[in-house]
Amino acid sequence: MNSISKILTFTALGSIALTGCSKKEEITEADVQAAADKAAQEAVAASEKKNDDKMAAMKAESDKKLADAKAEMEAKLAAETKLLKEQFTASNAALRKQYDSLKSKYDSVKSKLPEDIVSQVSSTLPDLANSLGNLESIANTFTPSTLEQLNELKTKYEKELAVAKGIADQILKMLGKGSLESMLPKL
């Protein structure tokens, strides 16, 4: 009986083992769809991360180029501002010297001039002094922050310079001395 009970035990165990092993888990269409959805989500997430990384790299490169361009423009603006300020200062000094010389010469010959010339020159000299003051003010407050502002200030200065030269030429013509243009340095 011992062997019969062993055989029955082995048979029972074999049946249980075979039944447990042969029982297959059924895969449903929902399981397949869920796995496909999960794989698609992972692919989308990986693609989005890759795109985000590319965008971050492009933004960093763009920011660097922008910073480089800004630094280059600031350096160019500083150099042009310095050069223009030096030109304005030199021009103002030359104009001031010519004005002082003209006023001194006028004061020395005023008593020999006809009254109408004295009256005209005396009324025009303050206009010239005012125009020179405007030029000096433009040069002293010259702090552009863009190239457009630099060009606007240059244009403003050139217009005021033309006014000053025009007034000086009027005075010189009244005094019979010619034109201021030939006496000044070029900008």
CB-based contacts of 73, cutoff 8 Å, min separation 6: 147
pLDDT digits (tens, 9 = 90+) for 26-61: 788 888 788 888 888 888 888 889 999 899 999 999
Give the span between the Cα atoms of 160 and 167, in whole angstroms: 11
Distances from the Cα of 76 to the Cαs of 71, 95, 114, 150, 157, in angstroms? 9, 28, 53, 11, 20
Write down the pLDDT at residue 187.
46
pTM for the model stands at 0.61
